[in-house]
Amino acid sequence: MIADYFLGMPRDALIPDLLRDPAPDFGDLTADLGIDPSRVFLAITAGTPPETYQVLEGDFDAARIDAAVRSDPIWSDLLSTAEHRGVTYYAWGGDLEMDLTRVTNVRPLGRGGRLALDTGFLYWVPWTAGMEGLIDAGAGAVPTLADDPRLARAARALAASGVYSAILTDRPLVEGAAMSGLVLGIGGGRDEAGAFWVVVAVHAGAAAAEEAAASFRSVLTEGVSAVTHEPWSERVTGFDIEVEDDMLVGVVRSAGREGDWLQAYYGREMLLVAAQG
């Protein structure tokens, strides 16, 4: 039943490795770490491999997690516990250390990791400093990306547009390029009319946002996808672009299935470069 749910999600839904890797046998996740994937409500992945952060929000059973990690036949002999700011976390092996003799569906890289449960949030990282950083963030002891008003504003705009998955970045898509866009957000959604995607870009000023909106519109109407070599006018059925002060918000209707937004992001399409200014 859980496998059917996950496999039935849109193909462009961004599922954290911790939930995706055990598929389709999600029972391994419960057996090894005590996590019931059906009780996960929201998830965020951040960082750059191998130093990636995974945070899940949900209804977790601390006793079940503790029992599972202590009885795991593959990893329990390396299990240790530590505490940071009053939050206990589990650790297996050294930071970022891999042991290919211990590869499992939950740990396909043979990396033990760090696991903590912090008042409804589950943290999963491969190194100790990363775990302590998440605990510090949860305690409000250090600034986080959520404290950046531009990132927060872009995230709110994406959520208001009804996307189910999104990517946020404050870096240029083209390395070293000058841009007026300070934050770019892009996400995918679906409603009764079909698949759509949303592009949000917060710029240095209103004039820069208007200029980026004009470029974004031009690529959609006259440009060609660098990935598929098709005109964007054939890949979309329509679009709506608005500028709210210094923020561009574009809603693009896909002509086919979902996923164009993700392909555009990883392909560094000119469409998104234009949105960044």
Q: What local confidence, expressed as pLDDT, does residue 180 receive? A: 86
Please report, in angstroms and rounded to a whole number, the separation of the first and last CA atoms in the chain: 45
Q: What local confidence, expressed as pLDDT, does residue 4 receive? A: 58
Q: What local confidence, expressed as pLDDT, does residue 24 receive? A: 76
Mapped onto helix, strand or coil, the DSSP state of residue 84 is: strand
Predicted confidence (pLDDT) at residue 228 exceeds the cutoff of 80 = yes
Q: What are residue 42's DSSP bridge partners?
A: 57
Confidence band of 6 (pLDDT split at 50, 70, 90): low
Confidence band of 7 (pLDDT split at 50, 70, 90): low
Nearby residues of 88 by Cβ (< 8 Å), 6 or more positions away: 81, 82, 116
Nearby residues of 192 by Cβ (< 8 Å), 6 or more positions away: none
Q: What local confidence, expressed as pLDDT, does residue 38 receive? A: 87
Predicted confidence (pLDDT) at residue 2 exceeds the cutoff of 70 = no
Nearby residues of 267 by Cβ (< 8 Å), 6 or more positions away: 225, 226, 227
Q: How many CA atoms lie within 13 A of 85 on its CB side?
A: 15
Q: What local confidence, expressed as pLDDT, does residue 83 receive? A: 98
Instruction: Give the residue with greater pLDDT, 146 vs 99.
Output: 99
Kindly report the pTM of this predicted structure: 0.90
The rounded distance, in Å, linking the Cα atoms of 188 and 163 is 5
Confidence band of 250 (pLDDT split at 50, 70, 90): very high
Instruction: Give the residue with greater pLDDT, 1 vs 123.
Output: 123
Q: What local confidence, expressed as pLDDT, does residue 124 receive? A: 98
Q: What local confidence, expressed as pLDDT, does residue 11 receive? A: 81
| Angle at alpha carbon of residue 270, lines to 268 and 271, rounded to 5° | 105
The pLDDT mean for the chain works out to 93
The rounded distance, in Å, linking the Cα atoms of 143 and 148 is 9
Are the C-beta atoms of 92 and 32 separated by less than 8 Å? Answer: no
Q: What local confidence, expressed as pLDDT, does residue 231 receive? A: 96
Lowest mean pLDDT among 73-77, 135-139, 175-179, 258-262: 175-179
The rounded distance, in Å, linking the Cα atoms of 27 and 248 is 43
The rounded distance, in Å, linking the Cα atoms of 198 and 19 is 25
Q: Which amino acid is at 58?
A: G
From the list 92, 94, 126, the residue with the least C-alpha distance to 17 is 126
Predicted confidence (pLDDT) at residue 8 exceeds the cutoff of 80 = no
10 cis-preceded (ω within 30 degrees of 0): no
The rounded distance, in Å, linking the Cα atoms of 223 and 273 is 12
Query: Over the stretch 60-114, which tens digit does the pLDDT of each residue have?
Result: 999 999 999 999 999 999 999 999 999 999 999 999 999 999 999 999 999 999 9
Q: What local confidence, expressed as pLDDT, does residue 5 receive? A: 58
Confidence band of 178 (pLDDT split at 50, 70, 90): confident
Q: What local confidence, expressed as pLDDT, does residue 52 receive? A: 97
Domain boundaries of the chain, sorted by first residue: 2-138, 146-276
**What is the DSSP code string of 210-266?**
HHHHHHHHHHHHH-B-TTT--BHHHHEEEEEEEEETTEEEEEEEESSSS-HHHHHHH
The rounded distance, in Å, linking the Cα atoms of 158 and 214 is 20
Across residues 46-63, what is the average pLDDT? Answer: 96
